[in-house]
Amino acid sequence: MVRSPDSDADRVIEGARVEIKFSTEWESGQYVFQQIRDQNYRFLICLGVSPFDAKAWIFEKKKIPFKMLKHQHGGDRGHDTWWIGFPANRPPTWMGKKGFLTDIYRTLAKLKGRRRRS
């Protein structure tokens, strides 16, 4: 894992550009992942931390339904940034699995197996 060479992704893991978003559980019982943009990354990781639990989701950017998300900012220039908010125990169905940390490990481990050897 290395730092991305530009600001379009946070890390490069096993050759894949990855954006990482973090949220603590809000007082309302929600996770809110902010500043999601349609930039140059392959995977989005959302890490949510509650007082007694941690959840994580990883999915390919092409599976993010940007049209279903709420824009984070208003105005003419505010349509390039979205946020995902949901009750900590009920992620949207498009996010898939239940948020197990091991799912991230498994997805990234599959990338390692597919990476081309020079």
Task: Give me the number of domains the chain comprises.
Answer: 1
Question: What CATH number is attached to the domain comprising 108?
Answer: 3.40.1350
| In contact, 2 and 17? CB cutoff 8 Å | no
pLDDT at 11: 95
Range of the domain at 49: 2-114
Give the percent of the chain with pLDDT over 70: 90
The pTM (predicted TM-score) of the whole model is 0.85
State yes or no: pLDDT of 60 exceeds 60: yes
Question: CA-to-CA distance for 14 and 63, rounded, in angstroms?
Answer: 20
Integer Cα distance of 21 and 95 in angstroms = 14
> 38 or 72: which carries more pLDDT confidence?
38
Q: Write out pLDDT tens, residues 65-116.
A: 988 888 887 655 567 889 999 999 889 888 876 788 888 888 888 877 665 4
Angle 99-97-50 from CA coordinates, rounded to 5°:
20
**pLDDT recorded at residue 114:** 63
How high does pLDDT run on average in the chain? 86
CA dihedral 107, 112, 116, 118 (to 10 degrees): 160
